[in-house]
Structure formats: structure tokens, C-alpha cells
Structure 1
Amino acid sequence: MAKSSADDGELRRACEAAIEGTKQKIVMSIRVAKSRGIWGKSGKVGKGHMAKPRVLALSTKAKGQRTKAFLRVLKYSSGGVLEPAKLYKLKHLSKVEVINDPSGCTFMLGFDNLRSQSVAPPQWTMRNIDDRNRLLLCILNICKEILGRLPKVVGMDVVEMALWAKENTSTVITKANPQDGPVVSVVTENDLKVTVERDLVSQAEEEDMEALLGTYVINIGEAEAFSERLKRELLALEAANVHAILENEPLIEEVLQGLESATICVEDMDEWLGIFNVKLRHMREDIESIEIRNNKLEMQSVNNKALIEELDKLLERLRVPSEYATSLTGGAFDEARMLQNVEACEWLTGALRGLEVPNLDPSYANIRAVKEKRAELEKLKSAFVRRASEFLRNYFSSLVDFMISDKTYFSQRGQLKRPDHADLRYKCRTYARLLQHLKSLDKNCLGPLRKAYCHSLNLLLRREAREFANELRASTKASKNPTVWLEASTGSGQAVNNTDTSTVSEAYSKMLTIFIPLLVDESSFFAHFMCFEVPALVPPGGHGNGKKSGSKSNNANEDDLGIMDIDDNDGKTDNGSVELGTLNESLQDLLDGIQEDFYAVVDWAYKIDPLRCISMHGVTERYLSGQKADAAGFVRRLLDDLESRISMQFTRFVDEACHQIEKNERNVRQTGVLSYIPRFAILATRMEQYIQGQSRDLVDQAYTKFVSIMFVTLEKIAQTDPKYADIVLLENYAAFQNSLYDLANVVPTLAKFYHQASESYEQACTRHINMIIYYQFERLFQFARKIEDLMYTITPEEIPFQLGLSKMDLRKMLKSSLSGVDKSISAMYRKLLKNLTSEELLPSLWDKCKKEFLDKYESFAQLVAKIYPTETIPSVVEMRDLLTSM
């Protein structure tokens, strides 16, 4: 018998090395194979059900007076080294179940503390029954000795276990390699005997034995006497059975004679049956041969009949109806014949599809007749596609040429003509179904047709836009406004030309109202008519911007051609982006060039009144926001370009006006309010009137540029003569605030510049007033400044003893500065009035001047009271009364 892995010393030492540091002692280690039961989570045989090599090790750990027992599962790492994988506590072992398989070497261990009871516990498979019994006996003994209880044992007879233990007691106590020394297993002979006698007899069996013994109501002194009695009774029963058999000997002989005669009859019958069996076998072979011949004949008949039916179907599929062949090869394309042409196309499409492998049995695909018929149908298709494409190209061109040649169709002098394409679309719809079939027959033929349609209709649209724009400008009456809005030569009091130019922006709005919906409709009709697989550009029944398109049939969906997609199997989602790119390229050909007429209207309006760019910008933004969802790509780009052109023209106007402002600084000497400040207020008022929709940003940017240039120019002009710089600044900043007071209350951008001007005005006032005060009372406030400077370094008591700051110096200074103070104050007023051109500012400036002088004098009085307490000067109250009386 092969050596058990439980006796492998190297394996035991590898296990001890794997759990080194856990203070546990290996009791037994044995190699097993781990597998997963078929009732696991997945229910499928996969990677989890394959047997994996593992080592089961029983270990114990002493903890005080108690000993803990563990079952360790160790696996082999990639390097072949054992490493711990699982750890089970034997106190939770609730069941030991031996699997009912032919080998009997597979068992499961059930633990009552597993988290997921729905997962099948692993199955452990041993090399032989001896290894299985050895491991299980060791587990049961450890449970009994350490835990004091046994788990439930299922699928294994405890009596067989006991007998095996008794027979293999000597093999349980094993030794490892001689050089390692004797290693005695924990399962000794005494342990096995105890286990067999005490533990391997169940409670039920013990009760049955007691009941059996209870039937014998005799006095038994000892077990040997009872055993002798049972032996005697057994011998008596065997002797009685032998006697009964000997008494029945005559009957047995009679039975044997009958059996012999029956055997002879059976042998004779077996010989006869063998003869009949040979004859029947020959007969059966003959019958089978006949049946095979009959079956082959019947199968051949059935096959011939089915072949004839299939050939009839194939011939019917290969037949070309004469009426369809006539329509495809030489039929006309007039409106009356379109129904026959469409029917021929439908038949041809179906016939071609019918000869393809998915719809035709693959075995027929290589038949010569099928190949020839497919080639014939391809020729029919090519001929029809070529004829139809040539007709449609000529038809589109002739249709547009006829409309262009009729001058009454376009706008004329004195009459604006709204473009009407209802008749054009009606005539095109006649061939919409034909285009659908051409696409299903040959997608490549649509490219030239689309180009021909775009070229023809582009001529018509550009002619309509040009005539409409020319007549629109000719019929609009508006006098040209002066563009020199902020010219320096224009006086501030000169009235600005306020001619009403609203007709200009109305003309531009009318141009958009007529043509933008028309271009959107044309884009949508073209996409549907020319079989582009893209989402609808215009929702049924209307337009995204809410404007009337001018078409007579606008209430109905003009782009609904009344047809359904023929090729329902096309992958629209896969080639949608490609189709959209192709559509945009075609729309560029369809509508390109029409933008020039829109640009001409914008440039014309700019020349009449540049401020109308604001209104046109708002109108364009409104259309642009309305076209986001449903406009064709070209129409949106057109609106974007118009918005950019309007912004560029308005920026040009702003730059020219700013240039006019900057020219003011070149004048040699300027006094009073500069001319561009009141004119800017008039300009801003008119700009606010022209704002529509979302043009606020455009106007705010212009305000920012205007005011920035105005303030920079003002500062430069003021610095040309520093003597009068503050007067120029305060007068102009005051004029800016007065002229923009109302607008600043409602326009946040102007309010920001209003506050900036207010701060600059206050700073200029303060500088000018301080200059006037210091000019009249220079000695007074210089004396005060000297005192303030010395107070940082010396005490107030020492200041009167400094040079130039004695009491005598104070009296001299007061006599020269405050004798005739009323005349000095009057001189301040006259100086304030002297260079001021805006007399309306005088009262507020004089009040500021008196307040500033009084504040400075009050500070001087406080210094004198602190430094020269014995000296007397005019009080602040007296000075305030004097200023009030002036």
C-alpha cells in the first residue's frame, strides 16, 4: 500500500513553517483535492468546480487551562510554497458528510458559523478510503477529547469505522524519516479503542442493546457465562436445522429428477429455436432489401416532384414581365407615365433582392441561370438609372429656366414680390417617389442629381434675393443721418439731425422675415426630396422662429412628400453623421451667394444711419435664437455672418467716433465744456432707443469704448494748461453727470461711468478749492503745518521756543493774515468766479470752498489753543458767521 501523506515529515514541517508565529501545534497534515459541489451559486461546471490541490492540517493551541482546536486549509503559491488559505474552528464543526460516490473518498465538513449558507461548502477528496478514515477519526477524537462533543456523521457507518480503526491500530502510530526522529501521531491505540467503545456506538444502538439484554430475565454473574449460554443456544439451533434438512432428502431427489427431465426438454427446444432463428434471419434480410429498394424509389419520386416545384418557382422569379422591361428600357418620364415607372422600379428592386443570398437559397446562388439573370437585371438597372438621372437633371434646369425667364415672378420697380415656390415644389413632388427608388437601386446616382438641383435652384434663389433687395432699398425712403456724431467743430448747442430712420431697420427685418423662413423651408424640402437620412429640419406644421415663411402652403407641412422610406433596413443611426455632412455640403451649393444681398442691405443701412446697426443686430439675434433647433446649417451660418458683419460695421462707426473725440486734444486752448460730452448724451439716448432683443452687450461695449476715450482725452486736454486743468476737469465731469443723469438711472454701464465721473469731479473740486484757499491764506496754514510737523518730534510745550514759532511770530502772522479777513474771503470768491465758464456750478463750489476753509481754520484754532493757550484768535463761530454773511 502506498505511503500516506499523513506520514510525510516534510509536509508536516512545511505546514509548521506556514503557520509559524501563531503558537499552534500541528497534529496531523494530509494532502487532499478541493472541489465545489454542483449545487453552488453558479450551478455550472466551471473554474470553481475543478479539483485543486490543498493540504488539510489539524492544529491545537493551548490557552490557559483550555485547548483550542483548528482545521487549517493551506494552498500552494505560484512558487510551490505552502501558504495559509482558510482557518476553521473545530468548535463550530456541526456535520461530517461523506458523499455518496463510487470511490467513497469525498466528504464535506459543515460549519455552523459560515456567513453565506447558500454557497456550497467545499468537497474534500482523499487518495483512498484509509486516508479518509484516518483524517475523520482524528477529527472525531479531537472533538471528543477537547470539545467534549461529536458532530453529526452522515453517509458513514460508525461500526465500519470502528472495525477499520481496530484493524489499522498499528498503522496509525507512524514514524517519519529516521533522521528526523520518531514522530508519534496523536491518534494512539488507546484513543482508538476508547473511541470505538465509547463514541462509535450511537445512543439508539445502545438502547437497542439494553432492550435485548432486558429480555433475558436471568441472573448472570459475569459476561463469560452469558456468552457460553448464547453459544450453546446457537449450536442447538444449527443442529435442529441440519436434522430438518436430512428428513426432506426423498423430496429433494424427486425434485432433482424433475429438473433433469425439464433440462432435456429445454435443450431440444433450444435446438429447434436456433433452426427457426436462422430461417427468420434470412427472411428478415430479404424483407429489408425489398424495403430499401422501395424507399429509394419513393424518395426519388418525392425529390423529383419537389425539384420540379422549386424549378417552377425559380423560373417564375427569373422571368421579366414585358411591361416592366418596356418601362425600364425605353419608357417616357412624363407625369402620366410615372405610376408605371414607379411600379417597374418596385418590381426591379424586389427582383434584385430576391436574387441575393439572404432571400435566395445559397445553393442556387452559383447556378448559371441565376448569374445570367442577375447580370441582365443589373443592365436593366443601370440603363434605367442613367435615363432617369438624365431626365431629372434636364427637368430641374428647364423648370428653373422657365421661372427665371418670367420677369413678373420677381420684384419689380414699385412692387415687392414675395418668392413663391409652391408650384415648383408641387412639380418636384411628382418625382419624389422616383428618387426614393433611384436611391434604393443605386445610391451613387444621387450625387449628380443633388448637384444639378442645387445649381438650378441656386440661380433662382439668388435672382429672387437680388431683385427683392434692390427693390427694397429703392422703395425705402430715409434721409441720410450725419455720421460725424462727435465732431469737435460741431458746437454743443447745435441740434442733432433726428431724422426718423426706422424704415431702414424695418427693411432689413423684412428681408429676414421673407427669406430666412424660405431658406429654411428650401433646406428642409431639399433634405427630404433628395432622400437624406437626417432628422427633419422643420417640425411639421410650422417654423421654429414663429415667423410666416410666405409660402402659400405653409399651414400644411410642405416638406411631407407623402411617401415612406423604401429601404427600411438602412442603418440610419450608423451613417447619420456622414449623411449630415453631405447634406451641409449640398446646402452650401444650394444657397451659397445669397448672403451677398443680405450684406448689401446691411451696408446700405449703415450708410444711412450707423446707429441702425443696433436694431439690425437685435433682429438678427432674435432670428438666430429662433433657428437653433430647426434651421439648416447654412442658414445658421448666414445669420452668424450677418451678426458679425453688423457688429463689424457698428465697431467701425464707434472707432470713427472715437477718432473724432481724440482730435479734440489737438486744439491749442479749450475752455468750458467740451463739445463731445453733451453730444455723447444725445448719442446714448438714441442708442438706447434702438436697442432690441439682446443687443445690450453691443451697446454697452460701445459705451465703454466711448467713455474711456472721452475721459482719456479730457485728461490730456486738461494737462495742456496745468494752471486751469482742475477747472476744465470739474466743469466737464459735471457736464457729463448732468447730461447722463436720467440714463445712468436705468443703464448699469452708464451708471458705472457716472460714479467714476462723480469721483473725478470731487477730486478736481478739492484740488481747485485748496489752491484758492492757500493762495489767500498761505502764511496762516503754513504756520499750522510747521506746528504739525514738529509735534511728531517734540512736546507741545517746547514748540513756542522754536525759531519762527514764538508767540511774537504767531501775533505777526495773525495780524498779516486775518486783518481784513473779509476782503481775503471776497478775493477767494472772485478768484473762484474768474475762470469758471459754467456759472451754474458757482454756488456749489462756493459752498464747498467755505466748508473746506472753515474745516482748516478749525484745525488751526485747535492747534493754537493747545500750543499757545494764553493767545487769543478769532473764534471758529465768529469765522463761520462771517462766512455766512458773505
Structure 2
Amino acid sequence: MQQDGQERTEAELQEGLGTFQGLSPAEAVAVLALLEEHKEPLLSHSVAFTEHLDRELRELEEANLRAILSSEQQLAQLMGTLDEALAEVGRLEETLQVCEELLGAVRQQMDHIHQESSLLQRLASNRSRLMDELLLLTSQLQLSREHCAALSRADLSSPAAIAACTAAAQALSSCMDLPIHPCYRKLQAVAEQLILFETLKQNFESSFISHITNIFELQGNSQAPALDAPIGTVAAPSHRPQHEELLPYTPLMAWLRSTSPALFWDLPKVYSQHLGRLYEREIRALFEQAKISLSGRRKGSLQESREKPAGSRQPRWGLPRSRDGQEDTPARGSMPGVLEQVLSELQPLCTSEQQFLQEFFCLGCGSVELEGSATKAGEPTAAPEDPPRTKSQSQSEEATTQLLSEIFSCLEPELRAFLDVCSKVQPLGCLQVLVTLSDSVLGTWGPCSAPPSSFLHTLLGNVLLLAKSNFNKCIGTLCKEMEEAKPASRTRGGILPCVSRFQELVALSEEMFQTSQRRGELDRAQLRLASSIFSSISSLSSANLKVNVDMVMMENFHHIHTFLCQRNIPCLEGRKGEAKRRCREHMEKYITTCVGQPLERLKHFFEGVKARLAQGVKEEELSFQLAYSKQELRKVIEKYPGKEVKRALESLYRTIHKHLSPEGNLLPVVWQTMEQGFIRQYQEFEELIQRCYAGAGIALDFTMEDLLSYFNSITM
């Protein structure tokens, strides 16, 4: 029995453990708070603590029961209120059901009304559209009798008639461009009307093209002015009357371009063919006038001058001393002035024609494409990534350039030929041509310059490249002639001809470039000329000279240095310093050579003395050598008395004066340097006598005071 009791106790314990439920966090906090409130040891007072808890539990249950008994009346009131609310809800449901039945009938009536309204709106819309289509066919597809008559007559003889035809053509285009449904074209009336429009359009196009082509032909066959203008006058006729005659047709040209592009793009070709002949005659006449102005002769004499042999032309080195020397006849014009006048006449001629083409043929709007057009070599094309506006503008410029190239096909060859004539009119004419073209291309003439985007500007740019090439060839030829130039047989010194020519070339080129803003080509040319003249002077030999080579080089380098100092040319500053240095070097060599001439035997004697001393002979033993004994020295000194020395110095002065040119004013400098060198030589002789022949009583026949008096008397 005891064992059974233990088993039951364990079973109840296991059951109690199985039903155990853990405390929640809130309950655990409450238990901890309760334990904290009763801090006495719970194990020793557990019975009292249990009784305390039971007592509190009973108090709580009593409080709960009293609360429940006190709230029973409130619950009864709440239940009554809920019953009343449920009854009210029942009544509302009944009312809503009645309203829904009524609204169902109204909804049916409104749906019926909406259907009838939609039908009425569709009927009104169909009537409106039908009325619009009828108006389109009856009024907008109708061309007035006045317009039909104007297109049928195609009278383009007066401004008023042209305006009437323009208005009629635009009205016809408006009728033909109406958006007509393809089904309407099957209607007989509509088809007849469209056939009438097409007939009027084709007949008017044919009449207009024939009329405008006749105008092109008449303008192209007009005569160029005769060459009876006064010599010195270079003028190109204005095409303003021709342009004013054609400009009223510009709206009709725009109409033709929009309606029949194939017919339209034939007209620029016809225009370029006919007007090209007129421009060819006028341009040739213009250049003939310019050539006559350059030569001062009429056409016959000009032809004779062309047929003269090359030997009769002015030699290359015949450079003028001034600009006035260029005018060999009273009627002959200045080449720069004539060239500038020609370019100033070409500028309005080409610019006005370019503006007219862009306006008359509508080449400045929309995409343009001439048949057979191709990009010329060297002209930039629009890149694929360019925006549409840039591409359109580039196509317009290409089309305009192509037309101008056809119209002015003879301009570039005639201009090149005229520039060749200008290059031969005066020395360095190719330089003047280069200056004038550069000023024109760079826009330094102001309004007379060609606009950067013009056809003439591009043409002048191409010709400018040729002018640069010709100028470089000319400078190359001049440099070669300078380098290969040889002085005349047995030249007696002075300024060499090639030096004078170099100075004249530089002076002339500087005069030509006074007003130019671009000196790059000139600076390179002057450097090449300077290098050639320096090379030519340095290559001189004594074969063709009757005087000392160093003297000639000294004088010519001094002349170049003086000239460059006067001119103050920045690009030749280096050459100026080199000329000064070379002049000083050759002057020292010349002085060294000439100083010993008055005392030549003394010079040779003491040179031998210095050579022996250099070989190691002692100064006190030198006088015992036979060739340099005291007796030999006295013999040499006896040959140079004071009078002979003075006479020799006077002869040397006359020789230097004779060979030096007066332009360089170099005689005082050379003679002063000569005096200093002679004094140094005299002092050297005296020193050697004192060192090697001391106590022998040997001395030169003249003293330092005598020598200074000789030079003073010669200078005076």
C-alpha cells in the first residue's frame, strides 16, 4: 500500500509537471516586484507568506464581486440601447429598398435618353463633315476665272502681269495641294477639275520657262564694253540692270522649284551657260584694260611688247632707285594700284552675282542638289555627324559655288595670266602681287575686301597659294644668282654689285610691305637673301680682285651692317650682328697685313729674331748669329730713314683711300686702326732692340713723336 501511494504521488507530480506553463515576461516582472516588496527570507516564513498571499487574493475576489454586482444595471441599459439600434437599422433597410426600386425605373429612362442623344450628335457630326467635304469640292477646289485667264495667257511682260501670274500660280498650287480622298478622284467632276489644273500648270510652266530662258539668252548675248576708255581706267560693268530685270520672277522661280524640281534645276544650268559667255567677254575686257593701264599702250602696241624677245626686257638686276623710276611712260600706271583696282572691281562683280544666285534660285533655303554636282577637290564637306541645318547650308554653298564656277570659268585663268604680267612689270613684282592678294584675302581693305564666305574669297585664296609659290621661286632664283655672282674682271674693290642689289631688294620689299599686316613670307625671303649675300661675300677669292680680299669683305660687311642699322628690320637683327663681327674680323686681318708694308724688311728681320728666340736662342747670344748680327740690323735700319717711312705711310694712305668706297665712310676708322697697329709694331721693334742688342747704340731713325707727327700730317 505504501508503494502504491508513492507511485500515485510520482504520477501526480509528473502530471503536474506536464501541465506546467511558463511565466510570461510581464508575469515574471510582477513576481520579481512582489518578491522585492517582501525582502524577508521567504524560506523561513513561507507559511506566513502563503497566508498573506491567500488573504490578499480573497480581498481581490471580494472587490471583483462587488464591481460585477454594481455594473449589472449598466449592462441592462446597454442591452436596451442595442435593441433600439437594431430596430432602427431594420427601418432604414426597408426605406433603402423602396428607393432602389424607384431609382431602377429612373435609370432605364436615362439610358434611353442617352442613346437618343448620341444618335442626334452623330447625325449632326455627319452633316457637318458632309458640308465640309462639299465646300472643299465646290469652293476650295475651284480656281477663279481671273486666275485661269492669267495662267492661260502667261503674260509676263510687265510687273503687274508678273504679280497676277504669281498670285494665280500660288492659287493653283493651293488647289492642287488640297488633301483629297482617293475615292473623290473617281468622281467625274473632281477628275475633270484636276485634269484642268494639271493642264494649266504644265502650260504655264512651259511658257514661264521659255520666257525666262529668252531673258537669259538676251542677257548673255549683250555686248561687252569696247576698249576705248581712257588709259588708266579699269572698270567692270555692273550687272544690276540684269538682276533687277530677273528679280521680279523670284516668286515664280520658288513656285516652280516646289512644283517641278526637275524643270527648275535645268534653269541654273541654262543661266550659267548664257551668262557665262557675257562674263567671259567682260572679264577679258577688264583684264585687257588693266594690261593697257600697266603698259600705257593700246592693244596693238601691247601685243607688240609681248612679242619682243626676252633679251629686250629690263634685266633682273635693273632695280629702280625709287618708286618714281617705275613709270617709264607718262601714261603707265602703278602696278599695285592697277592690281588693287582690278580686285576692287571683281569684288562687287562676284559678290553681287553670288547674292543674286542665292536669292533668285532660292539657294539659301531648304536642301539643294544640282545634277552632276560633286565636291571639288580641297573644298570641305559636311561631316556625317553635322546637324541638319549645317548640312543644308553646306549643300547650298556647294550649289552656289558650282554655279559661280561655271559662270566665272575664265576668271581664274585670266587672273593668273594677269598676275604673271604684274610680276614682270617691275622688280619683285611677284612680291607686290603677294602683298596685294594677302591684303584682299585677309580683309584689310574694309568694305572692298572679299567676304570670307564668298566665291571670290575662295578663288583669291587659291591664287594666293600660287603667288606664294611664284614668290618663293623668284627669291630662290635671286639667291642662286647672288651666290653664283662673280665680281667683274680685276675689280678694284668697293661695294660689290650683289651687295647693292641686296640692299635695293630689301629696301623695295620693305616699301611694298609698309601697309601689309603679314610679314611671314617677307621675313623668310629676306633671311634667304641675307644668307645668300653672306655666302657670296665669303666666297670671294683674290683671282678677280686687284686689292686685298679682306679689305673688300671688310668694307662690304660694314656696308651691310650700316644698311641694316638704318633699316631696323627685326628678322635681320641676327644678320646685323654677324655682319658687324665679320667686318671686325676682316678689318683685323687687313690691318695685320698692311701694317708691315712701310717697314717690310724690318718686319721680316724681327720676325726672324722672334723665331730664333722661340727656338731657344738666348737674347745675349742672338747678335752673334750672322743673319741677325748688329751689322745686319744697322743695314736694315739705314734703309728706313724718317722721310722714307713718312713717304711709305702716305703711299699706304693713298692706296687705302683709293680702294675704299666713299659710301661706307670707313677710311677714318681703318686709318685710325692702322695707326694703332703701326704704333704697336714700332713698340715691338724697340723692345726687341733693347732686349737683344742692348748697349750696341742701335736705334730706329725715327722716334714715337716722329711717327705720331707723320700720322697727324697725313690725316690733316
Q: TM-score, normalised by structure 1?
A: 0.56
Residue in 2 that maps onto 1:515: 346
1: distance between equivalents of 2:325 and 2:585?
32
Residue in 2 that maps onto 1:125: none
* 2:166 paired residue among 342, 349, 367: 342
1: distance between equivalents of 2:634 and 2:391?
102
Residue in 2 that maps onto 1:882: 707
Deviations 1:380-409 (A, max 9, x none): 9987776666556544543344345444x6
* 1:461 paired residue among 272, 275, 279: 279
2: distance between equivalents of 1:451 and 1:719?
71
Residues 430, 467 of structure 2: 8 Å contact kept: yes
* 1:435 positional shift: 2.9
Distance 1:437 1:808, change over 3 A: same
Give the % identical residues.
Answer: 16
* 1:851 paired residue among 673, 676, 685: 676
Residue in 1 that maps onto 2:141: 320
Residues 620, 639 of structure 1: 8 Å contact kept: yes
Residue in 1 that maps onto 2:184: 369
* 1:478 positional shift: 3.8
* 1:509 positional shift: 2.1
Residues 411, 464 of structure 1: 8 Å contact kept: no
More helix by share: 2
Residue in 2 that maps onto 1:31: none
Q: Is 1:780 the equivalent of 2:602?
A: no
Deviations 1:813-846 (A, max 9, x none): 7546655444467546646755853475655433
Q: Is 1:307 the equivalent of 2:126?
A: yes
Residues 347, 449 of structure 2: 8 Å contact kept: no
Residues 329, 380 of structure 1: 8 Å contact kept: no
Residue in 2 that maps onto 1:726: 549
* 1:464 positional shift: 1.9
* 1:852 positional shift: 1.9
* 1:296 paired residue among 112, 115, 118: 115
- Note the residue ranges of structure 2 that are not aligned, 5 or more in a row: 1-22, 38-47, 298-304, 306-311, 367-386, 712-716
1:754-833 map, 5 Å = 755-774=577-596, 776=600, 777-784=603-610, 787=613, 799-800=618-619, 815=634, 818-821=637-640, 822=642, 823=644, 826-827=647-648, 830=651, 833=654
Distance 1:879 1:614, change over 3 A: same
2: distance between equivalents of 1:411 and 1:165?
125
Letter in 1 for 2:397: L
* 1:531 positional shift: 2.0
Letter in 2 for 1:302: Q
Letter in 1 for 2:549: D
Residue in 1 that maps onto 2:266: 448
2: distance between equivalents of 1:882 and 1:423?
91
2: distance between equivalents of 1:375 and 1:785?
127
1:406-417 map, 5 Å = 406-407=222-223, 410-414=225-229
1: distance between equivalents of 2:198 and 2:397?
27
SS, match of residue 416 in structure 2: helix
1:50-129 map, 5 Å = none
More strand by share: 1
Distance 1:709 1:238, change over 3 A: closer
Residues 416, 463 of structure 2: 8 Å contact kept: yes
* 2:254 paired residue among 436, 439, 451: 436
Residues 364, 393 of structure 2: 8 Å contact kept: yes
* 1:882 positional shift: 1.5
2: distance between equivalents of 1:781 and 1:193?
134
- Note the residue ranges of structure 1 that are not aligned, 5 or more in a row: 1-162, 168-191, 199-208, 210-221, 356-364, 536-569
1:89-238 map, 5 Å = 165=25, 231=57, 233-238=59-64
SS, match of residue 237 in structure 2: coil
Letter in 1 for 2:160: A
Deviations 1:470-515 (A, max 9, x none): 234335664899631427xx9x9xx987737543332222222222
* 1:499 paired residue among 328, 350, 361: 328
SS, match of residue 430 in structure 1: helix
* 1:379 positional shift: 8.2
Distance 1:721 1:419, change over 3 A: closer
* 1:660 positional shift: 5.5
Letter in 1 for 2:670: L
Residue in 2 that maps onto 1:529: 360
Task: Work out the number of aligned pairs and report it.
Answer: 614
1: distance between equivalents of 2:93 and 2:285?
121
1: distance between equivalents of 2:527 and 2:706?
47
Residue in 1 that maps onto 2:515: 693
2: distance between equivalents of 1:786 and 1:666?
42
* 1:345 positional shift: 4.8
Residue in 2 that maps onto 1:402: 218
Distance 1:457 1:241, change over 3 A: same
2: distance between equivalents of 1:751 and 1:612?
26
Residue in 2 that maps onto 1:640: 461
2: distance between equivalents of 1:284 and 1:305?
31
Distance 1:765 1:297, change over 3 A: same
* 2:154 paired residue among 332, 340, 344: 332
Letter in 1 for 2:115: K
Letter in 1 for 2:338: A
Distance 1:771 1:597, change over 3 A: same
Residues 734, 761 of structure 1: 8 Å contact kept: yes
Distance 1:846 1:339, change over 3 A: closer
Distance 1:506 1:709, change over 3 A: same
* 1:575 positional shift: 2.6
Letter in 1 for 2:461: D
SS, match of residue 592 in structure 1: coil
SS, match of residue 665 in structure 1: coil
Deviations 1:99-120 (A, max 9, x none): xxxxxxxxxxxxxxxxxxxxxx
Letter in 1 for 2:253: L
1:738-757 map, 5 Å = 741=563, 744-748=566-570, 753=575, 755-757=577-579
Residues 765, 845 of structure 1: 8 Å contact kept: yes
Residues 687, 699 of structure 1: 8 Å contact kept: yes
Residue in 2 that maps onto 1:609: 426
Deviations 1:849-877 (A, max 9, x none): 22123335546766887899989886999
Q: Is 1:471 the equivalent of 2:289?
A: yes
2: distance between equivalents of 1:688 and 1:878?
54
Residues 397, 452 of structure 1: 8 Å contact kept: yes
CA RMSD in angstroms comes to 5.5
2: distance between equivalents of 1:862 and 1:389?
115
Q: Is 1:623 the equivalent of 2:440?
A: yes
Residues 620, 692 of structure 2: 8 Å contact kept: no
Deviations 1:226-269 (A, max 9, x none): 977765554444444555678999x99x979x979x98x999x8
1: distance between equivalents of 2:653 and 2:126?
124
1:828-843 map, 5 Å = 830=651, 833=654, 837-838=659-660
* 2:404 paired residue among 563, 587, 590: 587
1: distance between equivalents of 2:240 and 2:273?
19
1: distance between equivalents of 2:197 and 2:551?
89
1: distance between equivalents of 2:483 and 2:291?
35
Deviations 1:25-54 (A, max 9, x none): xxxxxxxxxxxxxxxxxxxxxxxxxxxxxx
Distance 1:733 1:246, change over 3 A: closer
* 1:430 positional shift: 0.7
Distance 1:273 1:435, change over 3 A: same
